[in-house]
Every structure is written in structure tokens, then in C-alpha cells.
Chains A and B, each alone.
Chain A
Amino acid sequence: MAAPQRLFDIRRVIGGLFVVYGLILAVTGLLDSAQEIQKAEGIRINLWTGIAMLVVGGAFLLWERLRPSDGPTSSNASASSGEKE
């Protein structure tokens, strides 16, 4: 149970999703036509949202890298699948 827990740490999932979304939006934002920019009141909203999502996603991935789910969690997780102490 500890292995999937690490693989599916929510921070990795959100971080990964946001990085992918961020890339898609940032590229779209760079290619946006004048019409799309005008729709958003002159703001390159795809580009800015993309950059913001990249930053947030990166932060989640970094957090997960620096503090992989702390000790007590994983020991409790393995206990809960068997007998609870």
C-alpha cells in the first residue's frame, strides 16, 4: 500500500496536471489571435493563466520532492490495511 500511496501522492497528481495544463495554456496563449485577446479585455489570459498554473504545479511537485509524505503517514497507512493497533 505504501508504493501506490507514494506514486499517487495528491501533490504529484495536482502538480503533474497543472504543469500539463500550464504548458497547453501558455502555448495557446502565445498563439492567441487578436480576437481572443480582445474578448478577454486585452489581457493575454491564456498565457498568464498558463504561467500561473506552471508555477503552482511546479510548487506542488517541489513540495512533494522536498517532503515526501512524512513518516507517520506511511506507517499508519500500512497499519490500517491490516489490524489497527
Chain B
Amino acid sequence: MPDAPLLAAQDLRLDVNVLDYVILALYFLVVLGIGFAAKRAVRTSLDFFLSGRALPAWITGLAFMSANLGATEVLGMAANGAQYGAMTLHYYWIGAVPAMVFLGVVMMPFYYRSKVHSVPEFMRRRFNGATQLLNAGTFAVAQILIAGINLYALALIMDAMLGWPLWLSIIVSAAIVLAYITLGGLSSAIYNEVMQFFVIVAGLVPVVIIGLTRVGGFSGLGEKVKQSVLGKGGLHTWAHTAGTDNPLNANWIGLVFGLGFVLSFGYWTTNFAEVQRALSARNTNAARLTPIVAAYPKLVIPIVTVIPGLIAVVLFGDLGKDGGPTYNEAIPLLMNEFLPNGVLGVAVTGLLASFMAGMAANISGFNTVFTQDIWKAHVNGDHPDEWYVRLGRIATVVGVLAGIGTAFIAAGFGNIMNYLQSLFSFFNAPLFATFIIGLFWRRMTAWAGFWGLLSGTVCAFASYILYKAGVFDFGTELNASFWGAGIAFVVDAVVSVVVTLATTPKPESELRGLVYGLSDASVSDDALAGDAAWYRSPVILGAGVVVLAAAFYLPFL
């Protein structure tokens, strides 16, 4: 094969054989086997939704990490690596680590100890039913849209393996995911999530090793990136961020405030698909450690995402250009180029499992919120427990069907990460503003929660529409999402303050355990023997990972 194969999008074909299919089949036999076994042990709806609050921090931490390593990470961050170069690292370091530590150290006790099953339920207790409904509604929509992204990515790989048309791949993928979720529930979803994390790493590390060998190691890669379309800017993260003369067209204010603060804190601290993993932990300390344990592997994930993106942009000259493959295809192209049958099977298994885990997480998030926060809280709450478990199963089917629709929306974006970040700016950024103000300002009133959240969401959406219409000039789609998030945050905060001053606050007795400085004395200390050790201290481990993240930037300033 020549150095820069000119593959059109439709022509990407992974050369899988029987050996690869055996590896793939083995994986799904194991996952479904666990699903069956777990199902026998699941009795109540709490078990079904939260896996029974019994897991140690290292499992929930890996599950937390893995819930994040779906299509977004593997295809999306490689796409970003190819399109924007080393600046993509911001998503791993400033854009993830501080927020993950904050979630563990500051916010997790409120989530875990208030015994809520979801973020919208927390909103109801802190604010009111209307805020819960609004949050549950936007969350449900967001999960379906993101499920569509995962489904599209899954179909993209199936398409590359079997050569089926995209629509058929999407429908078959949806059927497989549906079967898998209904057979197993969350318990097997957690197993699959953790397993896919290891399998995908096992499949991607060989791609990186062979790729680096081809381009002449790290130094060769650096040289070639400088000569590529990315240029010298492709190797730096903070250089030229005083202005916007960098691959991302973003300045440091957008990076620090938009990405590092609003988008990242919004995503990591309120994204229920991930927070739910920590709620399955066995006690408060394990719940607090969950995101912090996950932050350590997060630091080094770019080795298997951003680096392959850079290798792809160096090797495939037509990547992302008109008529060439899309940025989304960076990883599959490299797999096709380098991996012999065998390892190829492992990599394909990892990708497929990862997208399924991602979609399963979206659907189970949707399922919980729809059943508990929309139906039980606002439509009819008088049924026996089993009735809601059954409703949850119906919600799963509806969610998967809706995901088929949104997969076609995702298919319209050449870089799915851009699309995803726009969604986060609509849904997560305002939620974070409402959440954080409500947590630290006990006077904030119930209706301030509702109106702040609504206005923030609407403004983020408006800012995106105006960017698309050419009224606002943000340079790149990603930079537009930074600013959309910033706008949402500020508008939400201002509206919250104004409405608070005009309405009466909730009495302190209703806020115990929900705001900072008002602890709930009725909740007993659930610490276990050994939790006092330094290696189980959220603060010490959290500080450690922040220092490491800062140090990781040094070679890429």
C-alpha cells in the first residue's frame, strides 16, 4: 500500500477474517454470560438502577473512566488530534482532571449521602419539581442524542467490516445493543464497560507502536507534524493562545474559562451517565474516590487517541479534505493499515464493545431519568416497584429506537466530537451553573433554579444558532462550544441571582445535606476500616493527579 492511500469514505474496509470473528464472539459470549448470571441476582429496582451500592472504589473508578471512553474518546479525540493537533490534550488535562477531582472532593458527598438516584432528583430536593422536570427533560434528550452518536460510530465500524450500507448497520447495531441491555441491565453494563476499556487499550497500543515505528518515533512524528497541514502549531498546547492564531482559533480565556471551567466542570460534575457509577460505590469514601481513581488513567489516554490522530494526519494526506476520509475515520484507517488479523480482531472487538458500552450507558441514564424523574415523580407514583422496572424496560426500547433517529443526525457531522461538545454546551454548562450556585449559596430559591436553568440552556442554544448563521464569528466549531458554554454559565448565574432576590428562599430544614455548610446530622458516618490511610484519601490522591496533569503539559507548551 502506498504511503498516502487515497481512500474515499465508503471504501474503508477492514480486512477481518475468521480469527478476528472468533475473538469478537468470545468477548460477547463472556459479556452476555455475565448478563444472565447478574440478572438472577437482581431483584429490586434499586438493584437494577444502581447495582446495589456495593462496589469498591477501584471498580467504580474504572467504570467511571470507561463510561467516558466511548465513541467520543476513541474516534472523536483521534479526529480532534488530526484536526487540531496537540491542543486536543486540553480535553484530557485542564478539561478533565480538575473537574474530576472537584467532583470527588467537594460534590460527591452531597450526591452520595443524600441517597438520590439521579441528578434531576437532587434538583428536586434542592429546588423544586419544575426544576427536576426541566433537568430530566433536557437530560433525556441529551442522552438520546449522544446515544445516536455512539450508534453511528458503531455502525461506521460494522460498515467497515462487512461493507453494509450505513442505514442497515445502524439498525442492526441498535438491535444488538437492545438485546444486550435487556439481557443484562446495569450490572452487566458495568462489567462490559470495564472490560472494553482494557480490550480497547490492548487493541490500540499496537496501532500506536507500529505507527510510531513507521513515522520514526516521537521525534520523527514531531518533525512530520511540523511539515503537515497542522504545522508547528500542531505540537503546542498553550503557544499563541494570547490571540487566536492557533489550530483551535481559541484564546486562553476560552480555554481556561470555557473549556477548563464551564464545559469540563459541567460535564464531569453533572453527567449522570458517569456520576451514577460513583453512586454504586459501597460508602462515601469509595464514592469520592471514584472520579479521582479515574483521573489517573485519564491522564495517559491521549497516547492511544491523540497520538494516533497525529500519525493519521501525517500518513494520510487527504484526511479531512473534500473527497478524502473524514477525521472520524483516523483510527479505523490506521487499524486497516497496520494490524494483521489477530490483533485486528482485538482492536475491532474493543471498538465495538466501547460503543456498545457508551450507548448502553446513555440508554440506562435515559431509562432511570425517564422512569424515576419524569414518570414516577410527575405522572404517576403509586405503582408497585416491579411496575417501574417494567416501565424502565419499555423506556429502554423507546430510547434505542429514538437513538436510531439521532444516529442519522450524528452521521451529518464530519467530526462527531464537535457535535458532542456543542451538545454539552447546551445541556451541561447551564446545569453546572445552577448546581454550583445552589450548592454554595443557601439563599438561592427554588424558582431561581428553574428560570436560571431554562434561560442558560436557551442562550447556549441561541449562541450556537447565531454562530451557524454567521452572526457570531468564533472561528472553529469547538471554540463556538467554549463560548456557548461560557454564555450559558453567565446568563444562568445572572438570572439565578435576580430571581433569588425577588422570591423567598426555602427554609433551612429542607436544605440539610443539600447545601454547603448545612450538614445532615441524621446521616451516620459510613467510613470503613482502612479509609483513613493516605492512599484512600480523596484530597491527597486528588492533589497528586492535578500536579501530574500540570507536569504533563511541560513537553507541549
Spell out A's residues near B (CB within 8 Å). Answer: 1, 4, 7-8, 10, 13-14, 16-18, 20-21, 24-25, 28-29, 32, 36-37, 39-43, 45-46, 48-50, 52-53, 56, 69-70, 72-73, 76-77, 80-81, 84
Least CB distance from B37 to A in Å reads 6
A/B interface sample: 11 pairs, CB < 8 A: A7-B37, A16-B30, A24-B23, A25-B343, A32-B342, A42-B213, A45-B209, A48-B206, A49-B205, A70-B56, A84-B53
> Is the beta-carbon distance between B529 and A49 smaller than 8 angstroms?
no
Given contacts A24-B23, A45-B206, A49-B343, contact A81 B43 (CB under 8 A): yes
Expressed in whole angstroms, the Cα–Cα distance for A36 and B342 within the complex equals 10
- The contact string, 1 if C-beta is below 8 Å from chain A, for chain B 28-65, is 00100010011011010001000011111001001000
- Interface pair B56/A69, CB less than 8 Å apart: yes
Contacts of A49 in B (CB 8 A): 202, 205-206, 342-343, 346
B198 adjacent to chain A (CB < 8 Å): yes
Q: Given the complex, which residues of A lie within 8 Å of B339, measured CB to CB?
A: 39-40, 45
Interface residues of B in 513-539 (CB under 8 A from A): 528-529
Partner of B191, one of A13, A16, A29, A36: A13
Query: Which residues of chain A have C-beta atoms less than 8 A from B205's C-beta?
Result: 49, 52
Q: Name the CB-closest residue of A to B198.
A: A14
B residues less than 8 Å from A14 (CB atoms): 194-195, 198
Please state if A8 and B38 are interface contacts (CB–CB under 8 Å).
yes
A41–B528 alpha-carbon span in the complex (Å) = 52
Residue of B nearest to A29 (CB): B342
A24 B213 Cβ-Cβ under 8 A:
no
Query: Taking A18-B198, A40-B210, A72-B528 as contacts, is the C-beta distance between A13 and B338 under 8 angstroms?
Result: no
Collect the chain A residues with CB atoms within 8 Å of residue B22's CB: 24
Report which of B23, B47, B62, B206 forms a contact with A80, defined as CB distance below 8 A. B47
Distance of B22 from chain A, by nearest CB (Å):
7
The residue on B at minimum CB distance from A53 is: B202
Is B244 part of the binding interface, using a Cβ–Cβ cutoff of 8 Å? no
With a cutoff of 8 Å between Cβ atoms, the chain A residues found around residue B199 in the complex are: 17, 21
Q: Which residue of B lies closest to A22 (CB)?
A: B202
Q: Given A17-B27, A17-B30, A73-B282, decide whether A25 and B214 contact each other with a Cβ distance below 8 A.
A: no
What number of B residues sit within 8 Å (CB to CB) of A? 43
Chain B's nearest CB lies how many Å from the CB of A5?
8
Complex contacts, B55 vs chain A, CB 8 Å:
73
15 new A-B contacts at CB < 8 Å, known A45-B206, A46-B342, A80-B54: A8-B34, A10-B59, A13-B30, A39-B338, A40-B338, A40-B339, A43-B210, A46-B340, A52-B202, A52-B205, A69-B56, A76-B53, A80-B47, A80-B52, A81-B41
Contact in complex: B195, A77 (CB < 8 Å): no
Q: Interface majority SS on B: helix, strand, loop or mixed?
A: helix
A41 to B337 Cα, complex, angstroms? 10
User: B residues within 8 A CB of A10?
Assistant: 59, 62, 191, 194-195
| Given A4-B40, A70-B56, A77-B52: A24 in contact with B19 (beta carbons within 8 A) | yes
- B26 at interface by CB-CB < 8 Å: yes
Task: Verify if B251 is at the interface (C-beta below 8 Å from A).
Answer: no
Point out the residue from A36, A43, A69, A84 that lies within 8 Å of B209, measured CB to CB.
A43
Within 8 Å CB of A43, what residues of B? 209-210, 213
Instruction: Tell me if B195 and A13 are in contact (CB < 8 A).
Output: yes
Nearest CB to that of A80 among chain B residues? B52
CB closest chain-A residue, reference B346: A21
How far apart are the CA atoms of A5 and B199 in the complex, in Å? 22
CB distance from A66 to the nearest CB of B (A): 14
Q: Are B198 and A76 in contact (CB under 8 A)?
A: no
A73-B206 contact, Cβ under 8 Å, with A24-B22, A28-B19 = no
Q: Do B37 and A8 have beta carbons less than 8 Å apart?
A: yes
Supposing A4-B37, A76-B53, A76-B54 touch, asked if A21 and B213 sit within 8 A by C-beta, the answer is: no
Complex interface: chain A residues within 8 A of B38 (CB): 4, 8
Q: Is the CB of A73 within 8 A of B340?
A: no
**What residues of chain B lie closer than 8 Å to A13, measured between beta carbons?**
30, 34, 191, 195
Chain B nearest Cβ from A33, distance in angstroms: 9
Q: Are B30 and A77 in contact, CB atoms less than 8 angstroms apart?
A: no
A14-B195, A73-B55, A81-B52 are contacts. A39–B340 as well, Cβ < 8 Å? yes
The 6 closest A-B pairs by CB, nearest first: A36-B340, A80-B52, A77-B54, A28-B342, A46-B342, A41-B213
User: In the bound complex, do residue B41 and residue A1 qualify as a contact, i.e. CB atoms below 8 Å apart?
Assistant: yes
Please name all residues of chain B whose beta carbon is closer than 8 Å to the beta carbon of A4 when the two chains form the complex.
37-38, 40-41
For B347, give the chain A residue with the smallest CB separation. Answer: A49
B54 neighbours in A (Cβ, 8 Å): 73, 76-77, 80
- The distance in angstroms between the C-alpha atoms of A65 and B56, with both chains bound, is 17
Q: In this assembly, does B182 line the interface, its C-beta being within 8 Å of a C-beta of chain A?
A: no
Q: Which residues in B have their C-beta under 8 angstroms from that of A81? A: 41, 43, 47, 52
Provide the bound-state CA to CA distance between A29 and B191, in Å: 29
User: CA–CA, A80 to B40, complex, Å?
Assistant: 15
